[in-house]
Amino acid sequence: LALSNDLRDALVGDELVLHYQPVIDLATGRVRGVEALARWHHPGRGSVSPARFVAVAEATGLAPALDRWALDRVRRDAAALRAAMPTLHVAVNVSATHLGDTDLEEAVFSALGTGELSARELRLEVTESAMMDNLDQARAALERLKAHGIEVAIDDFGTGYSSLSYLSRLPASTVKIDRSFVEHITEDADARAIVSSVIRLAGRLRLTTVAEGVETPEQLAILRRLGCTAAQGFLFSPAVAVADLPDVVTRLT
Ligand code: G
Ligand code: G
Ligand code: MN
Ligand code: NA
């Protein structure tokens, strides 16, 4: 596949960039961290969406290389990120097609090995469906990461087929509520009921909740009333280049 070859070259050549989207604590209104989102501007094809190149990476064996690149990019951005916010917490999306194989853990420890980024500052986001593919392996990998002080969030929660009871069986610290629920939370009572249940159960299990894709003050008000821990979305800021983050954080504070 041509796109796969181009992606391999782009990873080797460090031609992708990470943009960072602020995550806002709903109790204090302050920035509690950022999520790293990969961006690829291809010289010939123009900008390729992450949904597309992540799928290509996963289908063609490049997922470990993409994860390794993202973790290393965050390591290199860490000093600038730390300067831009009160406390650095940076979440990296990892392709869990290889969660549980030693590649991912090796890439994580190599990003932490130089001391430029600490285990406390780094978080990983793994999709719910990727964890469900092999629950025992996912749980073991999460336990090992947790033992090293690295927190893991379950991404896109609600879009897979797992029941709420799986939440108690995974050593995760955070649940990210998928944008598809947040989008309809103001007018759809079912969406609101689902989000409310997830927030309540997560709270009982001592997991924090982060709502994704918050675009309006009305959505924010409902999430706050339901006791959601944190939120991100265009209402606050899109993902921005690291150079633009100080101004964005200042505006949000
Ligand atoms: O940034 P948004 O624009 O469009 O991202 C689309 C999807 O791609 C999201 O599901 C996001 O989690 C995923 N994604 C973005 N950046 C990365 C990355 O660096 N690695 C992986 N594995 N997924 C990413
Ligand atoms: O990891 P994940 O799948 O959740 O990635 C988040 C995706 O959603 C990225 O593509 C990001 O650019 C995008 N995004 C972030 N905030 C908003 C928002 O408020 N509205 C919409 N429509 N998309 C958003
Ligand atoms: Mn994510
Ligand atoms: Na998500």
Please tell me the distance between residue 12's alpha carbon and the centre of ligand 4 in angstroms.
Answer: 26
pLDDT recorded at residue 96:
66
Nearest residue (by CA) to ligand 2, atom 14, is: 213
Using alpha carbons, list the distances in angstroms from residue 21 to 10, 162, 245, 252.
23, 27, 9, 12
The token pair at 37 is 């989102």
Q: pLDDT digit string (tens) for 131-165? A: 887 888 888 988 999 999 999 999 988 887 777 77
Nearest residue (by CA) to ligand 2, atom 21, is: 213
Local mean pLDDT, 10-residue blocks, the chain (253 residues): 94 96 97 98 94 94 95 98 96 83 89 96 90 84 91 88 79 94 96 94 95 98 98 98 98 93
Nearest ligand 1 atom to the CA of 63 is 22
Nearest residue (by CA) to ligand 2, atom 20, is: 213
d(CA 177, CA 181) in angstroms, rounded, equals: 7
Q: What residues are in contact with ligand 2 under a 6 Å CB criterion?
A: 21, 37, 93, 155-156, 179, 212-215, 233-234, 239
d(CA 202, CA 167) in angstroms, rounded, equals: 8
Mean pLDDT value across the chain: 93
Verify whether ligand 1 is closer than 6 Å to residue 117 (CB atom). Answer: no
Ligand nearest to the CA of 233: 2
d(CA 61, CA 73) in angstroms, rounded, equals: 20
Q: How many residues comprise the chain?
A: 253
pLDDT recorded at residue 128:
83
Classify residue 82 by burial, with Cβ atoms within 10 Å: 0-12, 13-18, 19+: middle
d(CA 155, CA 126) in angstroms, rounded, equals: 5
Which domains can be identified in the chain, with CATH numbers? 2-252 (3.20.20.450)
Verify whether ligand 1 is closer than 6 Å to residue 51 (CB atom). Answer: yes
DSSP letters spanning 54-104: HHHHHHTT-HHHHHHHHHHHHHHHHHHHHHHSSS--EEEE--GGGTTSHHH
Report ipTM for this prediction: 0.95
Verify whether ligand 1 is closer than 6 Å to residue 37 (CB atom). Answer: yes
Helix axes 63-84, 2-12, angle to 10 degrees: 40
Ligand nearest to the CA of 21: 2
Please tell me the distance between residue 44's alpha carbon and the centre of ligand 3 in angstroms.
Answer: 27
Verify whether ligand 1 is closer than 6 Å to residue 127 (CB atom). Answer: no
Task: Identify any residues that bridge with 122 across adjacent strands, giving them in sequence order.
Answer: 90
Place of tokens 């596949």: 1
Task: Identify any residues that bridge with 36 across adjacent strands, giving them in sequence order.
Answer: 20, 92
